[in-house]
Amino acid sequence: TLAPAVKNFTLNFTITNLRFTADLQNPNSRRFKSTEKVMYHYVDPLLQGSSIGPAYIGCKVMAFRSTKNRDDTGVDAMCSCRDGPSDPKFDRTTIYHELSKMTNGITKLGHYSLNSQSLYVNG
């Protein structure tokens, strides 16, 4: 039998209480690695609890970036789910709405505050 295909999608959001610093741009820095681990701690359970949960594989933080308000930090992640015939179908609108509900209207991710206009799911 063939292995199910993998569907990749991007997840972007802005954290308003994580000051962006240059070391967040370096994937080898201690600050990048520790912040990346915290992101997995919060993001993975959200996506596992979403409508794609049974097919959810995981996310990888691709970058932390400066935003217009330099005190904020943008997060860019690449996420994956299985796309087999019996797997839940990926629907970016549904995922967006579920993540919005799970983050209190796109305002809280664990101890982080989010810019409520910043969540973007692209499939």
What does the block give as tokens for 62? 């691709």
- Cα–Cα nearest to 56, from 83, 92, 91: 83
pLDDT digits (tens, 9 = 90+) for 76-101: 999 999 998 888 888 999 999 999 99
Distance set, CA 101 to CA 46, 87, 94 (Å): 10, 23, 11
pLDDT bin (cut points 50, 70, 90) of residue 1 is: low
What is the pTM for the complete model shown? 0.91
Q: How many CA atoms lie within 13 A of 66 on its CB side?
A: 8
Mean pLDDT computed over every residue of the chain? 92
CATH number, domain 6-122, options 3.60.20.40, 3.10.20.30, 3.40.630.10, 3.30.70.960 = 3.30.70.960
pLDDT digits (tens, 9 = 90+) for 14-25: 999 999 999 999
* pLDDT exceeds 90 at position 60: yes
Q: Where are the domains of the chain?
A: 6-122
